[in-house]
Structure 1
Amino acid sequence: MKKTESSQPREGAMFIRNYIRPETPLRESERARLRIAKLFLNTASTSGFNAHDFSGVVEEELGINYPKGISGHFSHERFWTKADIADILSAITIWFHTTHKPGEFLKEVRRIFREEHLGYRIDDKGGVHFLVDEEFERTVAAAVAGLGAPRFAAALHALHEAMAHLGTTRQSGKGLIRGVFEAVESAFLAVIGDPKVNRLNGEVLDKHLKPLLLARYSGHGDAEDLADRFMDHFKAWVKSAHPFRHGTPLEQIHEAPLDLAIMSATQGIGYLRFLASLSAPA
């Protein structure tokens, strides 16, 4: 459904106002939190920035209790390292509007986001946004949650590596496609559990995945047709991503347009989630 103008993310608005729903999962980084905390403390001590006023605005705008230390004073390091990530992203906007040096602030926080490969960007008015969009982040987060089993550790690592190619430092459409392909391939190999198979292609999909589909949907009268249609789509995705797989030197592949790479990644992550829900044949 197309968003109305009023539902579009607004520049300069706090992240929590633009995006947050109760079920919205968010990516974060402990290293980025600590770096932001240190930047905040350095700013407060060197630029005349009133950190106490900032804390009050955070409480007023976000409806949370700003943490305090044993002495009863506001604990800024605890806030930046322990608060909910949605509150952190929204507090960055508050910080922007209360600092005396917004240009320097944007430069430094953007650098942290970039170097830590976070899936967000900051607009020129201090508003934080998803690098792609909310639905894409939901899809990624759901895939990460589904790959929690130890057998999917390699697939999860590959997915994280793929998402790093959306950052401004390493942004690469071919890297994104390649990483998601590796994640899907790894998950597929973990599911079928056949040591003689080490590649994902149409032939091994027919041999190993189709029996799983037929067993899973055996109660459906059109199970065979359903499985064939699924296989056709999956094999088409594999074929489209194959030029970017790990067997081809990355530098020898033409860069993929980012919008097409995101579309391919979205499809691949869907297959990844599906594979993570399957059990290997007995």
Structure 2
Amino acid sequence: MISELGVARYPNLRWGDYWAGYLEKIELRDLLDSVTLCYSTIQDYDGRPDQRARQEFVNSVPRIFGEEGVRYSVDDRAGVHFALDVEFERSRISTVAVLGGARYKGVRTLFYDAYTALDGAPPDGKAAIRSSFLPSRAFSG
């Protein structure tokens, strides 16, 4: 875990012994990354990826996020992404589809920059607004 998140691991303790205390101390970005890391470590007894268990894990994460009232979604490989609501996601996907042509490359880049800023942990609203309302760099050079 230290190589993935850059946080300490305590070698003399089992994960369950300090799980709750550990989660209370880490940064939000590390907590969100740990969802993906947990998914990647789910294996069967032979050390192969256990797809059924991984799918169960992925299916449980949105329920937990909903219970905790956090605005994140999880993809089919346990990648965690910022999400406002279903309509926001629908609009985002349709906007990306419309900006698919080469003519809209600069605008598409700004759109991705804004979404990437919102998808950070914590979200960077200032950078998202700059990408949305100050598009001069998309058309220069």
When the two structures are superposed, what TM-score results if normalisation uses the length of structure 2? 0.49
Higher relative contact order (CA 8 A, sep 6+): 1
- Structure 1 or 2, whichever has the larger Rg, is 1
